[in-house]
Amino acid sequence: MTPTERLRELAIRHAAFAWLDKQRAAGKETFTQEDTSNLTLGGETFRLMPTQQGIWKPGQLRAALAIRTVYRPEGSNRPYDDAVGLDGFYRYKMRGDDPNHYQNRALHQAMAERLPLIWWLGVQGGGYSALYPIYLVAEERSDLQFVVDIDAVPQPDITWPSVDLELDPAYRQQLTKLRLHQRPFRAAVLRAYRTACAVCSFRHSELLDAAHIHEDGAGGRPVVTNGLTLCKMHHAAYDRKILGITPSYEVRINADVLQEVDGPMLRHGIQEFHGQQLMVLPERRTERPDPLLLEERFQAFLNAS
Ligand SMILES: [Zn+2]
């Protein structure tokens, strides 16, 4: 690839990332093939997602632009875990068993030229969330796979530790798994709750979180029935056991906090929800919070009171 070709590859990619940033800033978490087609980037029309295979190299580019991993439903448990190596890096399987297949060569190009790609991660219930920029940092031809680096992906919710990762690869492996689950989980949970806080129905997506009922780090699964859409304040209150949710979806406030006298934020934002039913629940019953998980978490709330 000539330097000019490489610059063009980078320019198209950066234009694609800018478009995705804009969509996400407007609250869009889940993308379909339809809404990532016919984009004008650098004066040309591009599609950002493959139509059938997992690897996507647009005709106008020399290297692959995107990879895709479909959502694997319940039963297969935690969708991306199997493929995260002990070194903390994800392994993306080549297409078929020929490393020289043109799609595998397109991935090889992206690796050799240090070009960033988009990784489409399947979302429970349909569509894909976008992880970018990701890099392919090595090729393991005998195992027919590429090594994927997601460190460059901005993820304000999970920060990398300051400790030397080389010293504790198991920690790095765990963090990679958490980071891979995070975005599709958020997309699935926000959609199920129609982008509104379950407690107060607040609807500003930048201030909404997909909260785990059973914590991710403690083995909780990244599925909608283990999630709740909560605004930042109610998420923090839930995590600090100031706010509890019963298995029958009733909000409880810690007795001490209920007695406190402060300003309108405490009164209207916290205390007045005591005894209220959740304001927002998924329309599909199969997506509502698992009462067993709520029960366990509610017990922890009671024990902390
Ligand atoms: Zn709220």
Q: For 163-173, how does the pLDDT look when each residue is reduced to its tens digit (9 = 90+)?
A: 555 567 778 88
Using CA atoms, how far apart are residues 22 and 208, in angstroms rounded to an integer? 17
Residue 272 Cα to ligand 1 midpoint, Å, equals 12
Residue 168 Cα to ligand 1 midpoint, Å, equals 37
Q: What's the pLDDT score for residue 77?
A: 57
> Higher pLDDT residue, 116 or 216?
116
Task: Provide the Cα torsion 85, 88, 94, 96; round to 10°.
Answer: 20
Q: What's the pLDDT score for residue 165?
A: 54
What tens digit of pLDDT does each residue of 205-217 get?
Answer: 989 999 999 986 6
Residue 304 Cα to ligand 1 midpoint, Å, equals 21
* CATH assignment, 3-19+27-180: 2.30.280
Contact 54, 95 (CB under 8 A): yes
Q: What's the pLDDT score for residue 79?
A: 64
Q: What's the pLDDT score for residue 8?
A: 95
Residue 197 Cα to ligand 1 midpoint, Å, equals 5
DSSP 8-state symbol, 204: -
Name which of 109, 91, 111 is nearest 101 in CA terms. Answer: 109
Q: What's the pLDDT score for residue 86?
A: 87
Q: What's the pLDDT score for residue 268?
A: 93
What tens digit of pLDDT does each residue of 27-60 get?
Answer: 899 999 999 999 999 899 999 999 888 999 999 9
> How far is CA 93 from its chain centroid?
20
List, by residue range, all CATH 2.30.280 domains of the chain. 3-19+27-180
Contacts of 235 (CB under 8 A, 6+ apart): 209, 211
Residue 254 Cα to ligand 1 midpoint, Å, equals 16
DSSP H or E run through 265: helix 264-269
